[in-house]
Structure 1
Amino acid sequence: MSTPRRPRRTARLLAAFATLALVLAPAFADARPGGGISSGSRGSRSFSAPPATTTAPRQAQPMDRTLSQPSAPRPGVAGAAGPVSSGGFGRGLMGGIAGGLLGAGLFGMLSGSGFLGGLGSLAGMMGFLLQVALIGGAIFLVMRLLRRSAPRPAMAGGPSGSMPRSGMARMMEPGGGMRPAMGAGMGPSSVVEILPNDFEAFQRLLVEVNAAWSRRDAATLERIATHEMAEYFANDLRDLTARGWANQTRDVALEKGDLAEAWAEGRDEYATVAMRFSLIDVTTRIADGVVVEGDPAVRQTATELWTFVRRDGGEWRLSAIQQSS
């Protein structure tokens, strides 16, 4: 007796949707401000990794999203690395493999064959589930390889002779100011002295950015961040809303921080600060408030490099967020 085709087709559709969920879920594994990727601009040093610090001893990840353009190479100076494209499965050979796996698997599921086709009804159901696991696992591994294989720009310069004092609180002690790390020149620039009140501003902005993000307060984000960063935040918030999700980051506490480098370019002054902070990071469904990511009772820890910029000695604004490798 033949097996009804409708349940089998329904099972294939469910398996296909499950595969898509596995593929798309990592994109929002970090829904906090910045989305767990590197975004923004650091002036002429956007394609040069900040010097390592005690808070972030590893090289920072290159920019995934930036409006900056690589500087033209100068004689005797290594050229800056090109911008890193953020783009799904479209990164060279690995992207083709990932797209092929996804396309072949989904088409096979819907047509009744897939990678493990030709099985009976019960065995076929088990085959569908196994296909979901195989395809999802393969895509996950490919995406990890894509991130790891992204070109890492050469470091602008090694740490300075006197390592910065770690801990934002200690850096803000009277007389406890810190000498910036001395990076190699990337065009006309000069070292900028960062004072205790500047570090207080950086710590305050860490809290304010997260609070504005949680409120979806576009006006405040536009005021305390550059227009570029505010646009990235707005796009990320729209993507979350389109999924029916809302992200809340609260109780942000700076655990440790130190200066990577500070420099001037014309009227603009930049400061890149490594910060390790803890927070409550929870993503919920807008419709019913059900938690889809995170735990309201468990603090999470993140280490990021935030770059701030000010013009003519004005207020500092967030210019970039980079992930620590």
Structure 2
Amino acid sequence: MSLIAMDHADARRSGSFGSRGTRTFQAPAPTQTAPTTAPIERSMSPRTQTNNPAAMNQPAAANAQRPGGMFGGGFAGSMMRGLLIGGVIGLLLGHGFGGLAGMLGLILQIGLAMIVATLIMRWLANRQSRPAEASARSPQPATATGPQHSAYEYNGAGSSAPMGSGFASEAQVEQADLDRFEQMLNEVQSAYSREDYAALRSRTTPEVMSYMAEELGQNATSGVRNEVSDIKLLQGDVSETWREGDDQYATVAMRYESRDVMRDRTTNDVVSGDMDLTEATELWTFVRSRNSDWKLSAIQEV
């Protein structure tokens, strides 16, 4: 697996990872810079009904499929009703309940029939619940609202404003915040290239730091290091801004260019990548608590 990962030109990060609060498993609102975005693949956020809209409909679906009546619906219920009717007829004809005479035989047969019916109904219920669980795991696409605007003008919630004036939303993002996001693009990439754990730790959440540390460790084990240089932001859009308690979130799409190569740790030779400038587009989600600095909480590939 390490050899496969190192063979990719942009091997500094694998896939999409991190957390976006309650929106972790929802697709970000599309922008001009990032019309479509891959969902987060690795996250420590639990899948709940709050951050997984597909799960919201499961209780109603389960109630709709729940068998009714004394013995339930479907095949199991029909079978039990048939056994009961057949037993009564046999009793009237003088052959006992299902062929066994006496009250003891009646009680034993009813008990055995109920056990069998319960097992069958549980098996059928498990089969019916599997399609619902599978659909709940599928990411739900998000749709954009409001007009599209140029760099850093669209917040994915139908409101826009000129650069530097903030946004007409609960969680405002101002020009100073946008400038900080651009700085963090350079700082995080450069710190990752230097394998500067302290710098990464001060600019990322513990979750993102754990993923990056894992990848840096894999690079070291494979005898390579990732060198990223000449980073320049070309275009950026605000996808979403929102609040969760004391935390403020902002997801921004960034298209940037850089020189991204893998070098041998011993010889310093380029083993993958290209020294020419290449472009990449990613969505970075930043989070900050009240009176604290922004930190990188998720990266998603476009």
Is 1:62 matched with 2:39?
yes
Q: Distance in 1 between matches of 2:182 and 2:220?
A: 28
Structure 2 residue runs of 5 or longer lacking an equivalent are: 57-136, 156-160
Letter in 1 for 2:145: S
Q: Distance in 2 between matches of 1:237 and 1:31?
A: 14
Letter in 2 for 1:154: Q
Identity of aligned residues (%): 37
User: Deviations for 1:117-151, whole angstroms, at most 9, x for unmatched residues?
Assistant: xxxxxxxxxxxxxxxxxxxxxxxxxxxxxxxxxx6
Structure 1 residue runs of 5 or longer lacking an equivalent are: 1-22, 81-150, 182-189
Task: Check whether the contact 2:25–2:139 (CA below 8 A) recurs between aligned residues.
Answer: yes
Q: Distance in 1 between matches of 2:23 and 2:47?
A: 9
Task: Check whether the contact 1:180–1:262 (CA below 8 A) recurs between aligned residues.
Answer: no
Q: 2:151 aligns with which of 163, 167, 174?
A: 167
Task: Check whether the contact 1:32–1:248 (CA below 8 A) recurs between aligned residues.
Answer: no
TM-score between the two structures when normalised by the length of structure 2: 0.65
State the match for 2:173 in structure 1. Answer: 194
Task: Check whether the contact 1:167–1:255 (CA below 8 A) recurs between aligned residues.
Answer: no
State the match for 1:215 in structure 2. Answer: 194
Letter in 2 for 1:71: T
User: Deviations for 1:21-56, whole angstroms, at most 9, x for unmatched residues?
Assistant: xx7543231555433x10100001000010110000
Change (3 A) 1:170 1:319: closer
Letter in 1 for 2:146: G
Q: Distance in 1 between matches of 2:200 and 2:267?
A: 27
Report the secondary structure of 1:261's partner residue.
strand
State the match for 2:210 in structure 1. Answer: 231
Letter in 1 for 2:139: P
Task: Check whether the contact 2:191–2:197 (CA below 8 A) recurs between aligned residues.
Answer: yes
Is 1:153 matched with 2:139?
yes
User: Deviations for 1:75-111, whole angstroms, at most 9, x for unmatched residues?
Assistant: xx5328xxxxxxxxxxxxxxxxxxxxxxxxxxxxxxx
Report the secondary structure of 1:230's partner residue.
helix
State the match for 2:119 in structure 1. Answer: none
Change (3 A) 1:191 1:26: farther
Q: Distance in 1 between matches of 2:54 and 2:179?
A: 36
Q: Distance in 1 between matches of 2:143 and 2:167?
A: 12
Change (3 A) 1:304 1:52: same
User: Deviations for 1:197-244, whole angstroms, at most 9, x for unmatched residues?
Assistant: 110010000000011001100011000000111111111000001000
Q: Distance in 1 between matches of 2:238 and 2:9?
A: 24
Q: Distance in 2 between matches of 1:236 and 1:180?
A: 36
Q: Distance in 2 between matches of 1:210 and 1:234?
A: 13
CA RMSD of aligned residues (A): 2.8
TM-score between the two structures when normalised by the length of structure 1: 0.61
Q: Distance in 2 between matches of 1:170 and 1:52?
A: 10
Map 1:1-325 to 2 at 5 A.
25-28=3-6, 29-35=8-14, 37-58=15-36, 60-72=37-49, 78-79=54-55, 152-155=138-141, 157-163=142-148, 165-168=149-152, 175-177=162-164, 191-296=170-275, 298-324=276-302
Letter in 2 for 1:62: P
Q: Distance in 1 between matches of 2:171 and 2:291?
A: 11
Return the index of the structure with the highest Cα Rg: 2
Q: Distance in 2 between matches of 1:269 and 1:233?
A: 23
Q: Which runs of 4+ in 1 moved over 6 A?
A: 178-181
